Amino acid sequence: MPAKDWTYVMDEAALPEGKMTPVYPSGVNVLMARVGGAVYALEGKCAHMGCPLFNGMLEGVILTCPCHDWRFNIRTGEFIDAPELRLKMYQTRTEDGKLFVSLGQMEGL
Amino acid sequence: MSVESRKKALHYFFDKVVGPLGYKFTPDSDLMDFLLEQEVMLEQKHGIPFCPCQPLRHDRSRDMQIVCPCIPFHRKHFDAIRRCWCGLFVHKDVTDPDSLPQIPPWEVGLD
Amino acid sequence: MKKISMYTLSTCPWCRKTKKFFTEHNIPFDFIDYDLADEATQKRIMEELDANGANGFPFVRIDGEVIVGYNPERYARLMGLEGALVK
């Protein structure tokens, strides 16, 4: 992937285990989350009615939207009750303690 | 936001949700208009666009299963009757929504 | 005369059609709009719906028979209205 596709979003240390933070690379609403040591970057708005997900609840890999309790798997972006619906997933990269996101969607998702 | 603007907004959100599930808005435009308006009213009252034809139980986990579009939470039932309970959505191949009666789950072999 | 009672929602078009059906056939009925009822009445109605496995409205009782969902053919059959249906 060309280097220009990667956008710095936050310092790695600012994202502790089990936490979520919204970031806005190029104005895009992206939700950063760390679970089991892995960092995930997802679309920050719910697939239902666009509610901001950073205020939701993260339990393991299940993210629950604060508005109407729609639940998503943050590893795949899938909506638990209907996997045909999903949140976009973005690639992440860590370099020198900094987190980068590529806004090109991940392949296969 | 006016009722008409909010109806359009709900239409925009819901259209993106129901398509991948194999559903579309009912071709009965009067029914669609009426139901969307009821949902806007329910949203103004409760903060949430609940189904106009199912009961609020004042139990969050159950009430969240009747937030429109509630298809994901009643999939087997609605797939069997090819419409959702209130009729706002029908299967994509339905052209005559009047031909689809409201049938409760147990009458299609579900609990 | 058969006793007709129904639970409905003021927001539900099928509940409105159900009331219209009985009104147009000059059949008296009792109804309660669940969403406009007080808390104790809502609780009682919900218990009755749950006891009958009902998921939504309209909920119509014709004597002992329960019909869930708008079903004019069944109302007509139970009321002996076949052939006299108002379209």
pLDDT in tens, A11-42: 999 999 999 999 999 999 999 999 999 999 99
**DSSP symbols for C33-84:** EGGGS-HHHHHHHHHHHHHTT--SS-EEEETTEEEES--HHHHHHHHT-TT-
- Give CA–CA dist A16/B82, Å, rounded: 46
CA C86 to chain centre: 17
CA B91 to chain centre: 12
pLDDT in tens, B16-31: 999 999 999 999 999 9
CB of A48 less than 8 A from some CB of B: yes
The per-residue pLDDT of chain C, averaged, comes to: 94
DSSP SS3 for A34: strand
Residue C79 has a CB neighbour count (10 Å cut-off) of 17
Contact of A33 with A63, CB cutoff 8 Å: yes
Mark yes or no for CB contact A82/B48 under 8 Å.
no
- pLDDT cut 90: percent of chain A above it: 90
Parallel, antiparallel, or unpaired for β B23-25 and B89-91?
Answer: antiparallel
Give residue B34's pLDDT.
98
How large is the ipTM?
A: 0.94
Mark yes or no for CB contact B53/C46 under 8 Å.
no
**Average pLDDT of B79-100?**
96
List the domains of chain C with CATH numbers: 4-79 (3.40.30.10)
DSSP SS3 for B11: helix
Give the number of domains in chain A. Answer: 1
CB of A69 less than 8 A from some CB of B: yes
* C38 CB burial (10 A radius; 0-12, 13-18, 19+): exposed
- Give CA–CA dist A77/A88, Å, rounded: 6
Residue B75 token pair? 């999939």
Q: Is residue A107 part of a domain?
A: no
Distance from CA of B16 to the nearest CA of A (A): 8
Parent domain of A80: 3-102
Mark yes or no for CB contact B72/A81 under 8 Å.
yes
pTM, two decimal places = 0.92
Contact of C69 with C53, CB cutoff 8 Å: no
Q: Is residue A54 part of a domain?
A: yes
Query: Domain containing A94 — which CATH number?
Result: 2.102.10.10
| CATH domain B3-95 topology | Ferredoxin Thioredoxin Reductase (3.90.460)
What residues in A contact B56, CB-CB < 8 Å?
Answer: none
pLDDT band at C1 (very low <50, low <70, confident <90, very high): confident
Mark yes or no for CB contact A69/B60 under 8 Å.
yes
Q: Is residue A12 part of a domain?
A: yes
**Which of B54, B66, B111 to mutate: most C Cβ within 10 Å?**
B54
Mark yes or no for CB contact C68/B57 under 8 Å.
no
What residues in A contact B75, CB-CB < 8 Å?
Answer: 82
Give residue A107's pLDDT.
54
**Average pLDDT of A38-52?**
97
- Which amino acid type is present at position B80? A
Q: Is residue A91 part of a domain?
A: yes
Q: Is residue A109 part of a domain?
A: no
